[in-house]
Structure 1
Amino acid sequence: MERIPYLGHTIYRWQVGPSTFLALPEKGARLMHWNVTLGDGSVRDLIHWPELDQLDDIAKVRGGNPILFPFNGRTYDRSEIGFWRADDGVRRPMPMHGFARQGEFRVKRLDERGFSAVFVPGAEAKEGYPFDYEFVVSYRFEANAVYVELELTNLGQAPIPWSAGHHFYFNLPWSEGLTRKDYVLEVPAARTVRRNESGQLVDGPRLQPRETLDNPALIDTVHTALRGHQFQVTERTTGARLRFRTGFSNTTAKDAAVVTWAADDKVPYYCVEPWMGPPNAPETKIGLHHVGPGQTQKFLVDITHG
């Protein structure tokens, strides 16, 4: 592990076997980049990071893996976007994807295989999510895999709601000359949904078990009612793939979801996002988890390249 100066900050670089990882733990606990050196000496970029000239607003950077906490996507209160209502009946503000991706973190562990960082709530987070808790993001890097754990511990006396997730920006294509039609997504979902203008979940497009990533129906679609906890993206010409696996500790995986998204068909990335549940969980109650006093829950994701 080595320290590297980058745009006025110090980022960290890990070399684990053929894999190289870059991260900025203090800013959003952001994993920035992952590439793999192949047997022929070429380098395959897996997680996208754009060229930047400053890092003043890291939440808006479309790259790496923004952490979505305490809630995925947009929240609504009685059809009004940007708010949520807790069990105490109080309406509170909540930005899209919550506070963590733009938040400050304190490094708890930094070693040759990864890091753990603790969220330090600012004034906005304290107003919108006024609970006594510890939220920790932990990464473990392996030769051809990354493991990430989101852990929420309730330090107070009342249950704490959450429905967190990841916003991985994967580089696409992996190989020169290919396009999205050369990549196949396989998600064992029995249902797809989307969010309407009032925040409610409505039926999404009817999709096949295997879809190529050039299908526009995949964009902004939530894959749910999962029949398993593994899914994958495969490059058809080479058979190279990314295998995803999700898991939960001390809570149920019943409403877990996978979101597929890209800004348009020209961007050099494609997002495949494991979420604890669909968007607007505080209002719909679908995918909403509660951590009891003194308890800890975890959402675990690992991605393997092979």
Structure 2
Amino acid sequence: MENRPPHDILELNSGASTLRFAPWAGGRLLSWHVGGEPVIRWPGNANWEQPARVRGGNPLLFPFLGRHFVDGEIGHWRDARGGVHDLPTHGFARDLPFSAEVDADSRGVRMTLTDSPATRAGYPYAFRFEAVYRLADDHALDVTLTATNTGDTPLPWYAGHHFYFELPHDQRAQSTIEMPPALRRHQLPDGSISAPEQGETQYRVDDAGIIDRFHVLQPTPPATPVRFVTPGLKRAVTIDLDRPDSLPWYAVTTWTEAADSDFYCVEPWLGLPDAIHNGLGLHWLAPGATESATLQLRVESIG
């Protein structure tokens, strides 16, 4: 397997922080190191032939997130006129190249994807989708997702993040996720969403019951942030979802792949899977309109 990327990696350094990006691979944030330690991880054995499938970084989920179904078949969605379109799980953004513009002070980058024949086949809309990453300080990262309707018909969208946070698997039992008030839901095999149940304010990361669970924020924006506490790494990552002028984040999803995976995903989402059909977090963007969703990640030392 070839472990060298086929194109240059964009690296931004500021004080204690180092950010690495692959704009040509889905506008991917590959990693974030603070004080030389990985906070958002990128595996050393990444398969660069299929970067969208690598378990690391922050894949951008757009125009839809999660799994969508038509007549029980995954990877399809039905428009208001009854037309059925093919669209992969989590959308197409993570598979396509973005352009990139680095800020003059090298503390941030704006990556942009626009519609093309590759996107219009399964999503017949004109758009501009942007991901902006900017270091607020040496320990804090602001991230904004922006959608603009450049066409003449309303377009549906519900985007999200898929942050892969560093966590050795043998540290799960001592690590926790602090959650603002939320209702816990999940997706059923036919694509429907389970009935809500009251969520907890704290979970142990080794709790198998929160794998692939959607914590629907009540209310939104939440009064308190999400906090991922990892004593073995002597740090906590705070995810502030109450930022000025942001669309309300709908839910936070918790997930990991396997018992020996050295990562844990905490994923702020603007909607739930299959929202194009169930309406849970679905946004309709008018022609010429722009909407943005912003959050901040902050690393704190503990212990």
TM-score higher than 0.5: yes
Q: Give the Å deviation of 1:58.
A: 1.1
Is 1:134 paired with 2:112? no
Distance 2:77 2:233 in 1: 46
Q: Deviations over 1:223-276 (max 9, x none)?
A: 0033316211112467621110225787852x7010000111101100000000
Q: Of 15, 18, 28, which residue of structure 2 is paired with 1:17?
A: 15
Give the aligned partner of residue 50 of structure 1: 43
Q: Give the Å deviation of 1:209.
A: 1.1
Distance 1:105 1:47 in 2: 20
Is 1:119 paired with 2:113? yes
Give the aligned partner of residue 194 of structure 1: 186
Distance 1:251 1:77 in 2: 31
What TM-score do you get using the length of structure 1 for normalisation?
A: 0.88
Sequence identity (%): 32
5+ long unaligned stretches in structure 1: 38-42
Distance 1:268 1:251 in 2: 32
Q: Indicate the SS of the match to 1:191.
A: strand
5+ long unaligned stretches in structure 2: none
Q: Give the Å deviation of 1:182.
A: 1.4
Q: Indicate the SS of the match to 1:10.
A: coil
Opposite residue 191 of structure 2, the aligned amino acid is G
Q: Is the 8 A contact 1:226 1:257 kept in 2?
A: no
Is 1:147 paired with 2:139? no
Q: Is the 8 A contact 1:72 1:96 kept in 2?
A: yes
Change (3 A) 1:182 1:14: same
Q: Deviations over 1:29-72 (max 9, x none)?
A: 110011111xxxxx421111012364121111110000000011
Distance 2:46 2:60 in 1: 22
Describe how 1:96-107 pairs up with structure 2 within 5 A: 96-107=89-100
Give the aligned partner of residue 281 of structure 1: 275
Distance 2:212 2:46 in 1: 29
Change (3 A) 1:164 1:248: farther
Give the aligned partner of residue 40 of structure 1: none
Task: Report the more deviating stretch, 85-94 or 229-238.
Answer: 229-238
Q: Give the Å deviation of 1:206.
A: 5.7
Q: Give the Å deviation of 1:205.
A: 6.7
Opposite residue 284 of structure 1, the aligned amino acid is N
Task: Report the more deviating stretch, 51-60 or 71-80.
Answer: 51-60
Change (3 A) 1:216 1:30: same
Q: Of 208, 215, 219, which residue of structure 2 is paired with 1:223?
A: 215
Distance 1:46 1:119 in 2: 26
Is 1:34 paired with 2:29? no
Distance 1:134 1:101 in 2: 15
Q: Of 5, 8, 11, which residue of structure 2 is paired with 1:7?
A: 5
Provide the aligned length of Structure 1 versus Structure 2: 293
Query: Normalized per residue, which structure has more strand?
Result: 1
Q: Is the 8 A contact 1:103 1:120 kept in 2?
A: no
